[in-house]
Amino acid sequence: MAEFIEGIVKVWNGYGSSFLNGALNTLIVSLVGTIAGCIIGFGVGVVQTIPTDKKDPLWKRVILTVVNLILKGYVELFRGTPMIVQSVFIYYGVRMVFDYQMDVWPAALFIVSINTGAYMAETVRGGILSIDPGQTEGAKAIGMNHFQTMMNVIIPQAFRNIIPQIGNNFIINIKDTSVLSVISFADLFFTHKSAVGALYLYFESATITMAIYLVMTVTASALLRLLEKKMDGDDNYDLATTDTLAYTSGLLSYHPKEKTLEDFK
Amino acid sequence: MSENIIEIQHLEKNFGSHKVLSDIDFSVKKGDVTTIIGVSGSGKSTLLRCINVLETPSGGKILFHGNDIDEKGFSVTDYRAKVGMVFQSFNLFSNMTVLQNCMVGQVKVLGKKKAEAEEKAKYFLEKVGMLPYINAKPKQLSGGQKQRVAIARALAMEPEVLLFDEPTSALDPQMVGEVLAVMRQLAAEGLTMIVVTHEMAFARDVSNHVVFMKDGVIWEEGTPEDIFANPKKEETKDFLSRFIN
């Protein structure tokens, strides 16, 4: 045991700041990837739920069908292949095909974003479908178009409903970005590999890495719960009047009284 | 005929092979309060939803001030802003407060300034007795309160016609009263309304035109006196006798 603790201290003394730096990089790439993925997901989700009508002009229906096919292909491609393979494919593929050497950071952010986007697209679609169709009808009935309905009514509600899933994705990203070490992205796992390469203290270094990952994921899920609570708002509301009799309005004794617009000026 | 706000000609609606509406003809003039009565499943709500283009008619025409709403270049969203709708299940936006519910259409669809929209929203919320509740969310309100907010939301768009799709059917008897009180007041002020309802007293006392539907067809229509005092068709008598007892 003493030896184990000694080993941990040794790893930490040698690589402590690298571990923290790696953890920071992991956090940044996961956070940016999750946010960008959400934006992609919302874009794809909204386009995929545009209603088509037989009365719409042909060009609109053709464009929508083609766009939807492309989006579906995107979702299937990035959901259906491992991120570790995507990383290698994109990082080295770009160099081969376009003769352009991507930097590691943009490559990492790009890969995590489009990967998360593919998952989020389906999550957002589910979130949109989960909202009562009555909400859409209510919005249509006051003259809103599809875009206005989405932005003002459906997406705010869908977003609230999918926060747990967004949190899931964020936590998955914190862990799964470890695969980016294949393109030499200096994340937490990459630091671990460097540390064991130099010190040969596998178990000790892994223990530190595990602990840091766990701290990050547990903190993330606690913060997300807090966000959910905040979005739900207060359970109570204030009556916008000082008239105590107002508390009974809406019960049996409602008598309409005549007022004109002038009274409110 | 040009004073008709809405004119419906030979309207038809099929869901697959199921015929829900056939050969519906009627028109609404400014200030008319039209009630549509009939048993559940007779096509009343579908008719109203066709008027607001929430359902696409399978045949026939709907004219708004003489313009075919199915015509190319006719803006359905502009039309919907002028033809309000109140639903049986309220359909208030659950992510907004009462005040925001009544403002969002004015700001986003009519392009009004926020201050102006707020003033107007408050005016109509006062009218339906919901002004004290402007900060509440829909889930915090009772059914009758929600429906009154939904009416205020529709009124805030200052529509030319307001459609009511069984506005009191989801409410308990006490709350029916508060919603009907608001609707009576609006009718008295001259608002043009088309109301699908099971409230026969409202149809008899408030409307000036009653349409009786059965099996997707207008069976009989006329003034409340025609329909309630002297129904001509057996089916109409049958239907009414069940309500009077």
| Closest of B204, B126, B209 to residue B161, by C-alpha | B209
What pLDDT is attached to residue A118? 93
pLDDT tens-digit profile of B36-58?
999 888 999 999 999 999 998 99
**pLDDT at B1 exceeding the cut of 50:** no
Neighbours of A36 (CB within 10 A): 18
User: Percent of chain A at pLDDT above 90?
Assistant: 48
pLDDT tens-digit profile of B233-244?
998 999 998 876
Averaged pLDDT score across all residues of chain B: 91
Give Cβ neighbours of residue A245 (< 8 Å, ≥ 6 apart).
none
**pLDDT at B120 exceeding the cut of 90:** yes
Q: Are strands B33-37 and B192-196 parallel, antiparallel or unpaired?
A: parallel
Which member of B95, B126, B140 has the closest CB to residue A157? B95
Query: How close, in Å, is residue B185 to chain A by CA atoms?
Result: 8
User: Percent of chain A at pLDDT above 70?
Assistant: 88
Partner A contacted by B123 (CB < 8 A)? yes
Model confidence band, residue A139 (pLDDT cutoffs 50, 70, 90): very high
- Average pLDDT (A92-105) is 89
Which member of A139, A256, A264 has the closest CB to residue B123? A264
What pLDDT is attached to residue A1? 82
Least trusted range by pLDDT, from A143-152, A208-217, A247-256, B193-202: A247-256
Partner B contacted by A248 (CB < 8 A)? no
Q: What is the b/e burial string over B132-158, where b = at least 16 CB atoms within 10 angstroms of the residue's CB?
A: bbbbbbbebbebbbbbbbbbbbbbbbe
Using the beta-carbon criterion (under 8 Å), do B85 and A141 form an inter-chain contact? yes
Using the beta-carbon criterion (under 8 Å), do A239 and B132 form an inter-chain contact? yes
What pLDDT is attached to residue A10? 87
Superfamily of domain A2-234: MetI-like (1.10.3720.10)
Query: How close, in Å, is residue A258 to chain B by CA atoms?
Result: 8
DSSP string computed for A72-87: HHHHHHHHSS-HHHHH
Averaged pLDDT score across all residues of chain A: 86
Nearest residue on chain A to B76, judged by CA atoms?
A143
Partner B contacted by A133 (CB < 8 A)? no
What pLDDT is attached to residue A56? 74
**pLDDT at B87 exceeding the cut of 50:** yes
Partner B contacted by A233 (CB < 8 A)? yes
Model confidence band, residue A243 (pLDDT cutoffs 50, 70, 90): low
According to the per-residue pLDDT averaged within each range, which of A1-15, A49-63, B70-84, B116-130 is highest?
B116-130
**Which residue did the predictor score with more confidence, A255 or A193?**
A193
Phi/psi at A253 (nearest 5 deg)? -95, 50
Q: How far is CA B26 from the centre of its chain?
A: 15
**pLDDT at A264 exceeding the cut of 80:** no
Using the beta-carbon criterion (under 8 Å), do A143 and B120 form an inter-chain contact? no
Q: How far apart are CA A209 and CA A189, in angstroms?
A: 7
**pLDDT at B2 exceeding the cut of 60:** no
Q: Are strands B18-29 and B217-222 parallel, antiparallel or unpaired?
A: unpaired
Query: In the structure encoding, which two tokens stand for residue B121, read together?
Result: 């929203």
What pLDDT is attached to residue A265? 53
What pLDDT is attached to residue B245? 58
Secondary structure (3-state) at A240: coil
**pLDDT at B115 exceeding the cut of 70:** yes
**pLDDT at A242 exceeding the cut of 70:** no
**Contact call for residues B118 and B99 (beta carbons, < 8 A):** yes
**pLDDT at A248 exceeding the cut of 60:** no
Largest CA distance in chain A: 86
Partner B contacted by A229 (CB < 8 A)? no
Secondary structure (3-state) at A166: helix
Q: How far apart are CA B29 and CA A123, in angstroms?
A: 48
**Contact call for residues B215 and B239 (beta carbons, < 8 A):** no
DSSP string computed for B77-94: HHHHHHEEEE-TT----T
Give Cβ neighbours of residue A58 (< 8 Å, ≥ 6 apart).
none
Model confidence band, residue A14 (pLDDT cutoffs 50, 70, 90): confident
Interface of A with B in 203-222 (CB under 8 A): none
Neighbours of A100 (CB within 10 A): 8
Beta bridge partners of B194: B34, B163
pLDDT tens-digit profile of A250-261?
444 444 555 556
Question: Could you tell me the residue ranges of all domains in chain A?
Answer: 2-234
- Average pLDDT (B195-220) is 92
What pLDDT is attached to residue A116? 94
pLDDT tens-digit profile of B57-73?
999 999 999 899 888 88
- Average pLDDT (A212-240) is 83
What pLDDT is attached to residue B211? 94
Amino acid identity at A148: Q
Give Cβ neighbours of residue B42 (< 8 Å, ≥ 6 apart).
B213, B214, B215, B216
**pLDDT at A235 exceeding the cut of 80:** no
Q: How far apart are CA B69 and CA B52, in angstroms?
A: 10
Spatial strand order in the sheet of B18-29: B18-29, B4-15, B59-64, B67-68
Nearest residue on chain B to A238, judged by CA atoms?
B135
Which member of B89, B91, B181 has the closest CB to residue A256? B181
Q: Which residues of B touch A157 (CB under 8 A)?
A: 94-95
Angle at A208 between CA A207 and CA A212, to 5 degrees: 115
What pLDDT is attached to residue B27? 92
**pLDDT at A109 exceeding the cut of 90:** yes
Query: In the structure encoding, which two tokens stand for residue B24, read together?
Result: 């519906």
Using the beta-carbon criterion (under 8 Å), do A142 and B174 form an inter-chain contact? no
**Which residue did the predictor score with more confidence, A240 or A112?**
A112
What pLDDT is attached to residue A45? 86
User: Percent of chain B at pLDDT above 90?
Assistant: 74
